[in-house]
A = this chain, B = another copy of it.
Amino acid sequence: MTQTTLGEPMAVEMAKQQRQISVAEFFEKNRHLLGFDNPKKALLTTVKEAVDNSLDACEEAGILPEIKVDVFDMEEDRYRVRIEDNGPGIVKKHIPKVFASLLYGSKFHKLQQSRGQQGIGISASVMYAQLTTGRPVKIKSKIGPDEQAYYFELKIDTEKNKPEIVTEETIEWDKDHGLQIELDLEGTYRKGKRSIDEYIKQTSIVNPHVTLIYTNPRSEQLIFTRAAEQLPREPKEIKPHPDGVELGLLTKMLERTNTRTLTGFLQEEFTRVGRGTAEDICENATLRSDRVPSRMKRKHAEQLLKGIQQTDIMNPPTDCISPIGEELLEKGMRKEVNAEFYCTVTRKPEVYRGYPFQIEVGIAYGGEQSKDSTVNVLRYANRVPLLYQKGACAFTQTAGDVNWKTYGLDQSGNNVPRGPATIVVHMASPWVPFTSESKEAIAHYDEILDEVKLAMQQAGRKLQKYTKKKTRIKKEKKKRNMIEQYLPHVAVGLKELLDLTSAEEKEIVEKLEAVLQEDRGELEDIEFDPDANPEYDEEFAKIGREDDESD
């Protein structure tokens, strides 16, 4: 049956149904890919996308962020989310596309670290709101004290992935500059794990330059005041690094360059390639250094790629990445966990697929943490906490692959270890590879897995020193107890053997004890002091731990 009843080939009939699908239609149908698979997550995702955008915009404009987050319960499973920032605002012309068109943004083609990267997030929230309540998004924007403020109500035409302007007007807004976004959507609010409350708290841990004023649907206000008046170092935009560049990208770059020689091309289009390195690459590729890049064929591009792979090239510059830093990471952890021992590791930047990235790991050990539960792994990407899809994340997998027994934690097989510890992992990069558009878990690239493992092992060795010392002291104490216990019996024995007086016996015991003590040295105290950590904030630590254990 390869013919229809009309005698036409089946392929002709089947061809009639072929058509282009808009990216908005695609994500409308596949909205779980964007973090909207259930009402609780939908609410969190919406808050997260808006706050992340506000933080990015403020930092890019050099403004210390102050962000108000209000979530109102509108009853019947509907919530109103309103986020207001003191950022630079958005120029009128761009507002519709930024909020009501998917894959529209400024960060996709830039090699610069930021929270948002693909121009999907907030438009997806607008689409979800529209889908569940039929209501448009409401935007206020003002870009400077002497500028007009604008008000928009927007919907998305999903078939065309284009904005539909419902209302557009000028308004008075008593504010120098900033942005406000308001959305009505179906959702579920719960406290506890993976809640908005927890997301806000974890954001404040690694973003001490931010003030967050959050009012939850129960009308409880939580204020996280900034602890630092300094913005993080502004990450610089960089060119691609030759390591990890692929044939496809290289070919495209060769076609498009304005440079006239191969060495010029290498120096101009890549980071970390000077005259010398460029010539080394050409030599390793057996290509003349004065070849015209745009006239090179595929086989030459292949040769060039091999040449690059055979040449030692300096690691990418670190100024395109803004890590949290060992000190700040420890400070954040101290606030959250009351432990005995803290250590942090910030690795040097590395490269995957031409993108630089940097891994940081912190461990908080002992103290008030339970000995019998799985270690708590807190995951961050570009200072954004990752709350969902733990199991799918490269960080979690690597936490299982490290041999933690060596470092003093319990572990069965390749599972996340058990014991009184919290492990924080942070990846900073101009391009973080997430396992889905909802940006909840890091994809399993070998280069990233390796770096995370090394960072964990490095932190693990610091931990090991502490746990070993602790074990040694424990053993020592046991021995001393034994000595103290048996010494009187030894004394009695000696007294009888040597026929000593009670005074002589006492003297001998004292001498023996002194010798033994001297031998073993001073016993340093390593007991946990719950009040030793001035950073620890009990109330703060509690947020996101109460009420709810459900997904």
Residues of A that sit less than 8 Å from B by CB:
1-3, 9-12, 14-15, 17-23, 25-26, 28-30, 32-33, 37-38, 57, 60-63, 88-91, 93-94, 97-98, 101, 103-110, 118-119, 130-135, 143-144, 147, 176-177, 246-249, 251, 298, 301-302, 389, 391-392, 431, 433-437, 443-446, 551
CB <8 Å contact, A302 and B134 = yes
Within the assembled complex, what's the spacing in Å between the Cα atoms of A363 and B180?
Answer: 54
Shortest distance between the CB of A402 and any CB in chain B (Å): 16
CB <8 Å contact, B37 and A119 = no
Shortest distance between the CB of A480 and any CB in chain B (Å): 40
Given A15-B106, A21-B119, output 14 extra A-B contacts at Cβ < 8 Å.
Answer: A2-B143, A2-B144, A2-B176, A10-B62, A14-B60, A14-B106, A17-B107, A19-B108, A32-B433, A32-B443, A32-B444, A134-B248, A392-B392, A392-B435
Chain B residues, CB < 8 A from A144? 2-3, 9, 11
CB <8 Å contact, B108 and A26 = yes
CB <8 Å contact, A301 and B14 = no
Within the assembled complex, what's the spacing in Å between the Cα atoms of A115 and B88?
Answer: 47
Shortest distance between the CB of A175 and any CB in chain B (Å): 11
Tell whether A61 pairs with B1 under 8 Å between CB atoms, given A18-B98, A19-B104, A20-B103: yes
Number of copies of this protein chain within its complex? 2
Shortest distance between the CB of A227 and any CB in chain B (Å): 21
Within the assembled complex, what's the spacing in Å between the Cα atoms of A26 and B431?
Answer: 12
CB <8 Å contact, A18 and B392 = no
CB <8 Å contact, B435 and A32 = yes
Tell whether A18 pairs with B88 under 8 Å between CB atoms, given A61-B2, A246-B132, A444-B37: no
CB <8 Å contact, B9 and A177 = yes
Q: List the 5 shortest-distance A-B pairs measured between CB atoms, nearest first.
A: A131-B248, A1-B62, A17-B106, A11-B143, A10-B61
